[in-house]
């Protein structure tokens, strides 16, 4: 498996992508009408994916290099060779990056990257 995050000045290659989950905001509105059993519906397109990419890095240097790239406002390209359907272009939205040393191994670094898919 190969996961890469490409950015304007290079590529981030985590040792492991530790899972994947995304939320897709649905936007169809259901309007209850007094005196009627059936509601009115306003169909609207769904939003793009948002979530968190849990990444594992074998070294402190690799984790902090990833942080340095991810805090720069830019569009990133996410690719996963085993799961091409989760590939996307994304930005890191308002929030926090929290690089941390794994409590169990005390040798690998963990980084949860918030993402908001974009279409450019």
Give 64-78 pLDDT, tens digit per residue: 999 999 999 999 999
- Cα–Cα nearest to 54, from 82, 81, 15: 15
Dihedral sign computed on CA atoms, order 97, 98, 104, 108: positive
Model confidence, pTM: 0.88
Q: What is the mean pLDDT of residues 13-33?
A: 95
Average pLDDT, the chain: 96
Residue 120's pLDDT is 83
Residue 1's pLDDT is 60
Residue 97's pLDDT is 93
**Alpha-helical regions (H) of the chain:** 60-70
Q: What is the mean pLDDT of residues 50-55?
A: 96
Of the pLDDT bands very low, low, confident and very high (cuts 50, 70, 90), residue 20 is very high
């Amino acid at each position: 498996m190969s996961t890469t995050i490409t950015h304007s000045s290079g590529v981030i290659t985590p040792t492991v992508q530790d899972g994947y989950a995304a939320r897709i905001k649905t936007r169809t509105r259901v309007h209850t009408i007094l005196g009627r059993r059936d509601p009115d519906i306003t169909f609207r397109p769904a939003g793009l994916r948002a979530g968190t990419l849990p990444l594992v890095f074998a070294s402190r240097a690799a984790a902090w290099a990833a942080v340095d790239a991810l805090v720069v406002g830019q569009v990133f390209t996410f690719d996963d060779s085993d799961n091409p359907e989760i590939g996307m272009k994304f930005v890191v939205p308002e929030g926090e990056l929290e690089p941390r040393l794994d409590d169990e191994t005390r040798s690998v670094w963990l980084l949860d990257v918030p993402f908001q898919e974009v279409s450019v």
